[in-house]
Amino acid sequence: MHTKSIAELSAALRGGDVSSVELTRYMLQRIKTTGESLNSFITVTEELALAQAAVADQRIAAGEATPLTGVPIAHKDIFCTKDVRTSCGSRMLADFVAPYDATVVGRLQSAGAVMLGKTNMDEFAMGSSNETSYFGAVRNPWDGATVPGGSSGGSAAAVAARLCAAATGTDTGGSIRQPAALTGITGLKPTYGRCSRWGMIAFASSLDQAGPMTRSAEDAALMLSAMAGFDERDSTSAERPVDDYVGGLGNPLQGLRVGIVKEFMGDGLDAGVGASVQAAFDALQDLGVELVDVSLPNAGLSVPAYYVVAPAECSSNLARFDGVRYGHRCEAPRDLEDLYKRSRSEGFGAEVQRRIMIGTYALSAGYYDAYYLKAQKVRRLIADDFRQAFERCDVIASPTAPETAFKLGDKANDPVSMYLQDIYTIAVNLAGLPGMSVPAPAADGMPVGLQLIGNYFEEARLLNVAHQLQLATDWHRACPPGF
Amino acid sequence: MQWETVIGLEIHTQLATQSKIFSAASTAFGAAPNTHAALIDLGMPGVLPVLNAGAVRMAVRFGKAIDAKLAKRSVFARKNYFYPDLPKGYQISQYELPVVGEGQVDIVLDDGSEKPIGVTRAHLEEDAGKSLHEDFHGMTGIDLNRAGTPLLEIVSEPDMRSAKEAVAYAKKIHQIVTYIGICDGNMQEGSFRMDANVSIRPRGQQAFGTRAELKNINSFRFLEKAINFEVERQIELIEDGGKVVQETRLYDSTKDETRSMRSKEEANDYRYFPDPDLLPLEIDEALIAEVIADMPELPDRRRARFESAYGLSPYDADVLTASRELAEYFETVAAQGGDAKLAANWVMGEFSAALNRDGQTIGDAPVDAEALGQLVGRIHDKTISGKIAKDVFAAMWAGEGSADAVIEARGLKQITDSGAIESLVDEVLNAHPEQVENYRQADPGKQPKMIGFFVGQIMKKSQGKANPQQVNELLRKRLS
C-alpha cells in the first residue's frame, strides 16, 4: 500500500479496496515503526489525521472525491497549521501553535488530502542538510549515516521512505530540489508567485516558494494542481489561471530543445554525479529531445548574491521573534534589552544567528549599496542570462546538486562548503523560475538528481518532460532498502 | 547677533479608512486593547500585508489637493527597529520612492500677505501600537489596536521662519486633510501629530544650523510654545559658546520645555530596504481621474466663491471656510434663509458663540443648519426682528422646537399691521407731549438721535414685536 502512487491510491480508495482511515492508520504505523529512526517528523497528528480520513471516506462514498481525497500527506513544519504546533524547526517556535492555516495547507485540505503530521526541517529553512533543526538531524533513508539534504529534509526522507504519499516543501535556494536529489524523489519548485506564501513562515520573502515533493512527476502534477493559484492574501502571488498539469503529462517530447548548462558541468561536480546526469541527458535524447549547449555566464555570482539577499530579508523577517507576543521568551528578563537578547540568543540556533548577522550587516547604512543593491543587480543579470538561454531552448537541464548525500557532520562546521550544495539551484530562485529535481541513475548506490528548469509559469512543460522520462526509465522507482 | 529661525514640519495624519492599511481589522478608536488586531497586526509568523486601496486613494487625493507630483510607481520599504509595540520588528513605510512628491501650500502671514511653503513629499506608512505603562506594576502592557493604522506622513521644506508660520502651515494642512475627508483631524485621539525640525542661523547666512527634532506634538498651541522654547534654548546655547547637537527632543507641555530624547549617535540605523512582500505601488491615470472627479471643493477655492457668490467680506469668507463642516453649515443656512449676509452673521455670531460657550461641535449642536436657516428666513421675511430672533435662537438651543414653533408658542410674531402700529405711535406721542415739543424745536441734525427715544418707548410697549422700520417711518411722518 505504501508503495502506491497518488493515482493508484486514489483508484484504490474510490474502488473501495481500502478506506482512507485504514490507509491513514497504516501510514501512521509506518511512521512510528519503520520510519522512526529517520526523525523525519517533528509532530505526528494522529487524531487529526484519522478525523480527516473519516471525512475523506464520507466524501469518497458521496462521490465527491478529488484525486487527493483520502491520500495521506505531510507538511513541512514551516506551514502554519491551525491548532497544531508549527515549529519551523526552531526552539523559538518549539511550543508555537498556529492560530490559522497556510493557504497551501488549506487548499490541500479542501482537496481532501489527509495530513499525517509536520516534517522536520532545517531551522527556519536555513540549511542544506537538515542538521540545523532544533529537533535533531534527519537521516537519509538510503544511508542512515548521511544527510537527506535540506532544508526540506524531513519531507524528502518521509516521501523517499514511503511514510507518506507526498509532502509539501519550500524552496528558497534549493530546499525542495536538493533534498529531492539526495533522497531520490521528485521535487518541484514552482515559479515565484505560483503558490501562495500566506501562512508559510518567511525566510527570504522574494525567493521563498512552496512546492510538492513526491515519488513521481505525475504525483507532483496532482499535488501542484491543488496547491497552486492566486491568493488575494499574498500580494506577490500570480493572478493568472493554473495550467492543466495532469493533462499535459502525455505530450511527446519530439523536437523539444533541452539546454545543457555548460557552467554547471565542470569544476566542482562529482564525477559519479556527472556521469549519472549525462545518462539522464542521453535518455532525454532517446525520447526525441534535441540537446543544445546554453550558457549562464553570471551563474557563478548566484551563491554570493544569494547570501546577501536571503540573509538581508531574513534579518528583517525574523525580527518579529522577539519574545514579546509568542515564541520563546527567556526566564526572568531584567529589562527590555535583556528580554530581546536572551530570548533571541536562546531561541535561534547558530546558523540562523549567522544569517541574521550577515543580513543586518548587508543592510547597514554605508553598506547597503555595496551589498544589497549590488546583489539585486546580479539578480537581474542572472535573470537576463536565463532569458537569453531560453531563446535557444525550451527547458534547461543540469545536475541538481554537485554530489550525492554527504555524511552527517561532514559540513556542519564549514558553512561555505554547505552553501555550495545549492550552487546549481540558487540561480533559479534568484530569477524566480520554476525548477524541478527528478531522479537520475544512482551513483555508488546513492541517489542523484537531474534538475530541469523551465521558463516562467511553464510548470506544465517541466512536469511533461519529467513524466516522459519517468515513463521511459525506472530510476524514480528505486526504493531505499528496508523501506 | 540677529538670529533667524528655520523650521520644517513632519505631520503624521491618520487616514480615515475603515480598515487598516495592510489588514482588514477596524481602525476605530477607543476599543478594548488588542480587540482590533488581526493576525497581520499581531505580526504572526507567516502573515503577509495586503495594501488597502482606500489609503492609496486618499494619498492621491492629498497629492492632487496640493497640486503635487504623484509618483506613477512608488515603493514600500521596511524600516527596521525593535520595539515592543512594533510587532514585526519593522514598520512598513515608504522611503526612497514616496507616493506624493513635491507640492506647495500657501499660508497667510500676519500682514495679510501670502507665503508659499514647499511640501517635500508625503508617504504612506503604518502606525505602531501603544505601550501602556500604567496599570501594570513593573511591566508594560502592549495594545496593538493602533498597529497598522494608515498614516500619511507629510514632510515640508524648511521654509518656515517663525513658530507662527509653522502653526499657520500646520493649520493649513489640517484644514486641507479634513476638507478632503482623508483625516478626521482629531488631535486628542492622535489623528494629527506633528514633529518640528528647528534650527537657527545668523540672519543673512545661507547654510542651515544644526537642527533638533521636536517629536509628537498634538496641538497647535503646543507647537508654537515648543518651537519658541526651542529657539530660545538654541540661541542661549550658542550665545553662551555652546553648540546645538542634532537630536530628538520631547516637548513637555506641563513644564513648557523641550528635553533630549536621543542624540544622533544613539539613533537607530533603520536598514531600510524595499519590502519584498509588497509589489511596487502603481498609480495610473484612471485612478487619478477618479480622484479628481470626486474631489470636494478645496478651502481656497471655496473662500473665493463665498466672496463672489455671497458678497461676503474676505474676513467673513475666511472664517466661514475654516472647516468644511462650518462652510457646509453656512451654505445650508444661507440657502434656507434666503439671505447670505444675514446667514453669515448668525453663523459667525450667535451660533459660534453658543458652540464655544457649551464646548460643542457643529455635528452635535442642538440647532442644525436647516433650523437656523428657518430662523434667518423669519428675520429676512420680517416675521420677527433681529433682536427677538436672539431670544428665539436661545429657545431653540434649549430644545423648545423650531423657529416657527417658538415664535408661535411665545406669540413673538412681529406687528406689521399699520393700524396697530399707528395706535401704538399715537399712544406714545400723546403720553410725551414735552418730548414731542422738544423734538420739533431741535436742530434737524440732532433729530435722528432724538427719535430713538420714541422708538424705544414704542418697542417697549409692543414687547419688541413692532416692526422697527415701520415704526420709524410713521414716527417721522407724525413728528414732521
Q: State the smallest CA–CA distance between residue B47 and chain A in angstroms.
A: 6
- How far apart, in whole angstroms, are the C-alpha atoms of residue B89 and residue B83? 7
Mark whether B365 and B443 lie in a shared domain: no
Place of cell 507641555: B253
Spatial CA neighbour of B193 closest among B101, B100, B128: B128
Choose the closest CB to B46 out of A199, A206, A236: A199
* Cα-Cα-Cα-Cα dihedral sign, residues A40, A272, A174, A249: negative
Asked whether the beta carbons of residue B43 and residue A368 sit closer than 8 angstroms, the reply is no
Q: Using a CB-CB distance cutoff of 8 angstroms, which residues of chain B are in contact with residue A326?
A: 44-45
Contact A166, A176 (CB under 8 A): no
- pLDDT band, very low/low/confident/very high, at B265 (cuts 50, 70, 90): low
> Which of A317, A345, A357, A429 to mutate: most B Cβ within 10 Å?
A317
Contact B376, B342 (CB under 8 A): yes
**Distance between the two ends of chain A, CA-based, in angstroms?**
12
Mark whether B36 and B120 lie in a shared domain: yes
- pLDDT band, very low/low/confident/very high, at B221 (cuts 50, 70, 90): very high
Mark whether B21 and B84 lie in a shared domain: yes
Mark whether B241 and B352 lie in a shared domain: no
Q: How many interface pairs between A and B have CB atoms less than 8 angstroms apart?
A: 99
- How far apart, in whole angstroms, are the C-alpha atoms of residue A343 and residue A354? 16
CA Rg, chain B, in Å? 30
Asked whether the beta carbons of residue A200 and residue B90 sit closer than 8 angstroms, the reply is no
Mark whether B157 and B221 lie in a shared domain: yes
Q: State the smallest CA–CA distance between residue A389 and chain B in angstroms.
A: 27
Mark whether B56 and B130 lie in a shared domain: yes
Mark whether B440 and B464 lie in a shared domain: yes
Contact A78, A98 (CB under 8 A): no
Spatial CA neighbour of B156 closest among B184, B189, B198: B198
Contact A432, A166 (CB under 8 A): no
Q: Amino acid letter at B421?
A: I
Of the residues A20, A76, A133, A225, which is catalytic?
Answer: A76
Task: Retrieve residue A129's grid coordinates.
Answer: 542538510
Question: How many residues make up chain A in this entry?
Answer: 483
Task: Retrieve residue A418's grid coordinates.
Answer: 554547505
Spatial CA neighbour of A201 closest among A353, A93, A299: A93
pLDDT digits 0-9 by tens, B389-439:
999 999 999 999 999 999 888 888 877 777 888 888 888 888 888 888 888
- Which of B386, B410, B434 corresponds to the end of one domain? B410
Mark whether B305 and B278 lie in a shared domain: no
Task: Quote the CATH superfamily of domain A6-254.
Answer: Amidase signature (AS) domain (3.90.1300.10)
- Which of B410, B428, B463 corresponds to the end of one domain? B410
- How far apart, in whole angstroms, are the C-alpha atoms of residue B29 and residue B130? 12
Q: How many domains does chain B have?
A: 3
pTM of the predicted structure, to 2 decimals: 0.90
Catalytic residue flag (residue A175): yes
Q: How do the pLDDT tens digits run along chain A, 483 residues long? A: 899 999 999 999 999 999 999 999 999 999 999 999 999 999 999 999 999 999 999 999 999 999 999 999 999 999 999 999 999 999 999 999 999 999 999 999 999 999 999 999 999 999 999 999 999 999 999 999 999 999 999 999 999 999 999 999 999 999 999 999 999 999 999 999 999 999 999 999 999 999 999 999 999 999 999 999 999 999 999 999 999 999 999 999 999 999 999 999 988 999 999 999 999 999 999 999 999 999 999 999 999 999 999 999 999 999 999 999 999 999 999 999 999 999 999 999 999 999 999 999 999 999 999 999 999 999 999 999 999 999 999 999 999 999 999 999 999 888 888 888 899 999 999 999 999 999 999 999 999 999 999 999 999 999 999 999 999 999 999 999 999
Q: State the smallest CA–CA distance between residue A228 and chain B in angstroms.
A: 17
**Residue B346 backbone dihedrals phi, psi, to 5 degrees:** -70, -40
Mark whether B432 and B337 lie in a shared domain: no
Mark whether B187 and B57 lie in a shared domain: yes
Domain that holds residue B14: 3-289
Task: Retrieve residue A164's grid coordinates.
Answer: 507518506
Interface of B with A (CB under 8 A): 39, 42-51, 78, 80, 82, 84, 87-90, 142, 269, 271-273, 276-279
Q: Return the domain boundaries, chain A.
A: 6-254, 300-374
What is the 3-class SS of A239-284, one letter each residue?
CCCCCCCCCCCCCCCCCCEEEEEHHHCCCCCCHHHHHHHHHHHHHH
- Which of B272, B289, B306 corresponds to the end of one domain? B289
* DSSP assignment string, A328-393: ---SS-SSHHHHHHHHHHHHS-HHHHHHHHHHHHHHSTTTTIIIIIHHHHHHHHHHHHHHHHHHH-
CB neighbour class for A65 (10 Å; exposed up to 12, middle 13-18, buried from 19): buried
Query: CA angle, corner B350, sides to B348 and B351, nearest 5?
Result: 70
Query: CA angle, corner A457, sides to A269 and A461, nearest 5?
Result: 70
Choose the closest CB to B78 out of A198, A316, A321: A316
ipTM of the complex: 0.96
Contact A243, A460 (CB under 8 A): yes
Secondary structure of residue A133 in the 3-state scheme: coil
Alpha helices in B151-219 (DSSP H): 163-179
Mark whether B223 and B269 lie in a shared domain: yes
Mark whether B36 and B114 lie in a shared domain: yes
Contact B130, B146 (CB under 8 A): yes
Spatial CA neighbour of A356 closest among B89, B316, B364: B89
